[in-house]
Amino acid sequence: MVRFQSSGEIVFTNSNDRAGVAGSPAHKYVGGAPIPGALAGALIGRIGNGQPFGIGDQTTIRMPGSGTLYLGVNDANVGDHSGQVQVLISR
């Protein structure tokens, strides 16, 4: 089990289009995102080369494996974003 304390937001290309760690409040989805069925901009993780999994605003998650944990946001093109997300991870 791993604990997360996450906050912050990202801004998509349109400055009025924002997402917190739980994802887009407009319930926007992006087909080319790592997890197409999860909200755009939501905090996601991946262990090593494994499948991505949703984290969002959850505080405790059972990790699907062991290895290096990578964090990111659920979107097809993260290069056009601004903002930041802070994540504190503990066991």
Q: What is the pLDDT of residues 52-91, one digit of tens each?
A: 999 999 999 999 999 999 999 999 988 888 999 999 999 8
Tokens in use for 86? 């802070």
In eight-state DSSP terms, residue 80 is G
Mean pLDDT over each residue of the chain, to the nearest integer: 92
Q: How far is CA 57 from the centre of its chain?
A: 9
Residue 79 is predicted with a pLDDT of 84
pTM summary value: 0.91
Give the pLDDT confidence score for residue 78 in this predicted structure. 81
Does 7 have pLDDT greater than 80? yes
- Provide the residue type at 59 as one letter: T
Amino acid type, 38: A
Q: 54 near 44, Cβ under 8 Å? A: yes
Please enumerate in sequence order all residues whose Cβ is within 8 A of that of 8, keeping only pairs 6 or more positions apart, or say none. Answer: 20, 21, 83, 84, 85, 86
Smallest CA-to-CA distance from 54 within 71, 29, 79, 31 is with 71
